Amino acid sequence: MPTGTPDVLLRTEGRAGFITLNRPRAINALTHAMVLAVDGALTDWEHDPAVTTVVVEGAGERGLCAGGDIRAIHDDARARGTASAAFWRDEYRLNARIARYPKPYVALMDGIVMGGGVGVSAHGSVRVVTERSRVAMPETGIGFVPDVGGTHLLGRAPGELGTHMALTGAVVGAVDALLTGLADAFVPSVELPFLARDLTDLAPEEALARHAASPPAGVLAEQRAWIDACYTAPTVEEIVERLFGSGVPAAKETAETLLGRSPAALKATLATLRRSRVLGSLEAVLDLEYRVSCAALTTPDLVEGIRAQVVDKDRDPHWTPATLAEVTEADVARYFAVPDGGDLGLAAGTPAPTTPSAPAGHGARGGA
């Protein structure tokens, strides 16, 4: 039977295997060791006929998972280390595995679900949100680019809603997570314990039928017209120009938000998202995102963005380059170069061998 770790609790009840991410003080931010523990549980339960459904949930009241442990990534980037690349290799493989898992994989996306938290939930076969759900890929705010298959998910959202979420890092609630394809069903948070109980002896669709409800109103459907009109522009500069010129107050506020994000990360994100749309498979997109993530690790903006948002918390990042106009095509092209340690190789079906490394250490709240 899977044994878990202090940060990943594993148990079986009836026909269900439960994975509880257990770092509540850090909103269950993922470490390398946690990724390996989740993957190990999936291996064991895949071949256990007594387990017919896997359920992932978060400990505490704040959320399922706030993302990767970005303090550890910050420290690794400053030291020019290799721990983050090793973490991403295993994390992205886990994301792909979740999407192809042969048994129902039910993610209870209550509370904060961001960055890596999306990776361990939104690729599942049954994604459940509540009125407390706050779902986002907020990477551009820390000088990073949406990863964990995020550009694959957002690239498939209706119209340009995914582009809007990827560039701005917008946080959405239940109905907008459903609209953009990041979730499948809404269940009131008070019903989650009862849903979990029913999942121990019922198929997920039967359990959901007992507890699913209509979600509260969202905002993206009403904003769809100006989002689609503005984000079809070919460049980030033109997107910002259209947002300012739309005459819609919410669009103008969005333009101002974009101007506060890392210019290099914005351009790399738009390029990654548009490449992801034509790649097709999640595995191919994860291969692409791995290149982009490794490149971001070497940029000054990732360290500066995490410093400003998480370490010093002054919310005053100084980006390099400082403006969109200063980010060249060559700057963007560097994000797509083969990393020094080689490609991920998921799409080829033969992941490159890796040298075992110590998991990234624990830190504070995640988001990447």
Is 228 a known active-site residue?
no
The reply to whether the predicted model has a pTM over 0.75 is yes
Catalytic residue among 17, 58, 68, 117: 68
Rounded Cα distance between 2 and 44, Å, is: 6
Catalytic residue list contains 181 = no
Active site (annotated) includes residue 326: no
- In the set 147, 176, 287, 301, the catalytic residue is 147
State both tokens at 355.
């040298």
Q: At 225, list the tokens.
A: 């017209």
Tokens 């890796």 correspond to what residue?
A: 354
147 is catalytic: yes
Active-site option among 69, 139, 184, 198:
139
The owner of tokens 């997107």 is 239
| Ordered per-residue pLDDT tens for the chain, 368 residues | 566 789 999 999 999 999 999 999 999 999 999 999 999 999 999 999 999 999 999 999 999 999 999 999 999 999 999 999 999 999 999 999 999 999 999 999 999 999 999 999 999 999 999 999 999 999 999 999 999 999 999 999 999 999 999 999 999 999 999 999 999 999 999 999 999 999 999 999 999 999 999 999 999 999 999 999 999 999 999 999 999 999 999 999 999 999 999 999 999 999 999 999 999 899 999 999 999 999 999 999 999 999 999 999 999 999 999 999 999 999 999 999 999 999 999 998 744 444 333 333 333 333 44
Amino acid letter, residue 315: R
Q: What is the structure's pLDDT at 2?
A: 64
Q: How far apart are CA 54 and CA 293, in angstroms?
A: 29
pLDDT, position 4: 78
With tokens 């679900």, the residue in question is 113
CA torsion sign, 17 to 57 to 157 to 70? negative
Buried b / exposed e along 241-279 (16+ C-beta atoms within 10 A) = ebbbebebeebeebbebbeebbbbbbbbbbbbbebbbeb
